[in-house]
Amino acid sequence: MNETTPALPQHLTPAGGFRFATANIDWKDFLTEGCYYKILDVNLAAHTADIIVKFDPGARCLFHRHVAATTTLVLEGTLHVFDQTANGVVEKIKPAGSFSSGAENEIHIEGGGDEGVVVYFSMRGTDDHVYDLLNTDFTLRKAITVQDFAKDWARWSKP
């Protein structure tokens, strides 16, 4: 590096690899203790919602089922996914950089590893219905729609 080249911020330095900077995000409580989210975009006409979710270390969400096509990218930490299968629960561990696409109709719980996790979720529906929150017996607790995210976003965006 010469004197005219400015130093890159630490979260962009090649030696440390890319790190998604989350220190200044205005996180909102999301569903369960130790779980937070930030809405990035909502498009009602296209039936899409893009969010980032943060789990504290060991925090978990509720059982849910993605109805819309959902893409995920683990930005920080390790995502733990507990899939409910016919043979019981199967745990998947996804480190930072893991990308998944198209998980629909799988029943699972997601959460943070020992250091927590930050995950980008992109939901692309054919209608407003994007996922279902489930009770522990897997019955419907609440259907979540793009409209739900739009209402939160509008409320948080007001000056």
Contact by Cβ (8 Å): 79, 113: yes
Instruction: Output the CA angle 46-38-97, nearest 5 degrees.
Output: 90
Q: Which CATH architecture has domain 27-157?
A: Sandwich (2.60)
- pLDDT one-digit tens code per residue, 3-60: 444 444 444 444 455 667 788 899 999 999 999 999 999 999 999 999 999 999 999 9
| pLDDT value of residue 13 | 40
The residue ranges of every structural domain in the chain are: 27-157
- Burial code (b: 16+ CB inside 10 Å, e: under 16) for 21-49 equals ebeeeeeeebeeebbbbbbeebeeeebbb
Tell me if residue 149 falls in helix, strand or coil.
Answer: helix
